[in-house]
Amino acid sequence: VKVSKVFNNNVVLAVDQADDGAEVVLIGRGLGFGVRPGDDVDPARAEKTFRPGGQQTPERIAAFLDEIPAEDIELADEIVRRGRGRFGDYVGQHMLFPLADHLSFALRRAREGVTITYPLQWEVAALYPQEVAFSKEILTLVTERRGVRLPELEAIPFALHFVNARFGQDDISATMEMTEAFAAVLDTVRSELGIEIDEESLDATRFITHLRYLFLRQEKGSASTGVEQQQALYELVRVSQPTEFACAEAVRAMLEEHFGWRLDQNELLYLTLHIARLSAAAARSAAASAGRGPAAGASEPPTTQAATRQPTSTEPTTSDAPGKERS
């Protein structure tokens, strides 16, 4: 490989002719010492190799390597490997620098005793339970490796990094907006229908996946799904599911007002169908807990009347519906 730029004594940018002229950042002790652009460098001498891509320009990688302690980068590397084992191949090297950067920042704040408030704490915890659970393991790993116990709250930003990767998002601000919108939609459905929604249930997960694609369509400005207006189906659903349809309209109004989204008739139709599923699931679990009667909640006051259709609080209360595993 040929050196194209020398960042410092230990970091060079090189072009790999064997790989279609792809750029690689090589780090290794003294790798850049006395080397000029155009010189050959033996990639075997590099301790680590990084491929720039996306927002990670060679300059940014070089600056990173210069300023972020190597031990932080190594720990981030271990986190990425564990994350890949847990979540699959969408967790990759592209996460290394953002994670190392965050880890370094978190450790720095812990050292300096600075606490910050994270946005979307409740939303992230509620909407992405797998990522949050994994991130709590990361906090334990950090303690094992570095002897620092980061606050529990630090699981939130780690989780968001993995959510970002899951949704294939390059830009964390898009993931944040999306998360805010998801939570607002669920809140609207809860208060409009007066039901409980278990975010860990299959129906809620499906609904969130649907919203995820809705969000993508909004970003791309593409019309719903490219299908023809399903006028007959739309009318049928509107008439047969008036409550859920009204709820979908409320969701549409909220999304327009707060997020500037535009939902057409097809989107409204799909939204109604998903809401109907959530509402049916809520009715089922209400019936199940009502059926079990007083045996269901020994420590909590009876929640049977709260579980039936009554506009109760929109807060996630500790209900004793089966299958709940809320912390």
Site residues for another protein per CB under 8 A: 55, 59-60, 63-64, 66-68, 98, 101-102, 104-105, 108, 114, 116-120, 157, 160, 172-173, 176-177, 258-260
Closer Cβ to another protein, 30 or 119, answer by number: 119
Q: Residues 293, 287, 289, 300: what is their CA dihedral angle, to the nearest 10 degrees?
A: -90
Closer Cβ to another protein, 93 or 308, answer by number: 93
Closer Cβ to another protein, 80 or 281, answer by number: 80
Closer Cβ to another protein, 25 or 281, answer by number: 25
The distance of closest approach from Cβ of residue 177 to another protein in the complex, given in angstroms and rounded to an integer, is: 7
Q: Which of 56, 138, 127, 137 is nearest to 95 (CA)?
A: 56
HEC secondary structure over 199-229: CCCHHHHHHHHHHHHHHHHHHHCCCCCCCCC
Cβ 134 vs Cβ 124: under 8 Å: no
The distance of closest approach from Cβ of residue 326 to another protein in the complex, given in angstroms and rounded to an integer, is: 23
SS3 156: helix
The distance of closest approach from Cβ of residue 157 to another protein in the complex, given in angstroms and rounded to an integer, is: 5
The distance of closest approach from Cβ of residue 287 to another protein in the complex, given in angstroms and rounded to an integer, is: 37
Using CA atoms, how far residue 114 sits from 119, 121, 140, 150, in Å, is 16, 18, 20, 12
The distance of closest approach from Cβ of residue 232 to another protein in the complex, given in angstroms and rounded to an integer, is: 34
Q: Phi/psi zone of residue 126: left (φ > 0), alpha (ψ -120 to 50 degrees), beta?
A: alpha
Closer Cβ to another protein, 102 or 238, answer by number: 102
Tokens of 281: 């699931």
**CA distance linking residue 283 with residue 198, whole number of Å:** 12
Closer Cβ to another protein, 63 or 287, answer by number: 63
Among the residues of the chain, which ranges form H helices? 58-67, 70-87, 96-112, 121-127, 129-146, 155-166, 172-193, 202-220, 231-240, 242-259, 265-292, 304-307
Q: Which of 120, 118, 162 is nearest to 137 (CA)?
A: 162
Cβ 267 vs Cβ 216: under 8 Å: no
The distance of closest approach from Cβ of residue 245 to another protein in the complex, given in angstroms and rounded to an integer, is: 26
Closer Cβ to another protein, 119 or 323, answer by number: 119
Closer Cβ to another protein, 112 or 325, answer by number: 112
The distance of closest approach from Cβ of residue 118 to another protein in the complex, given in angstroms and rounded to an integer, is: 6
The distance of closest approach from Cβ of residue 277 to another protein in the complex, given in angstroms and rounded to an integer, is: 28
Instruction: Say how many residues make up the chain.
Output: 327
**CA distance linking residue 2 with residue 200, whole number of Å:** 51
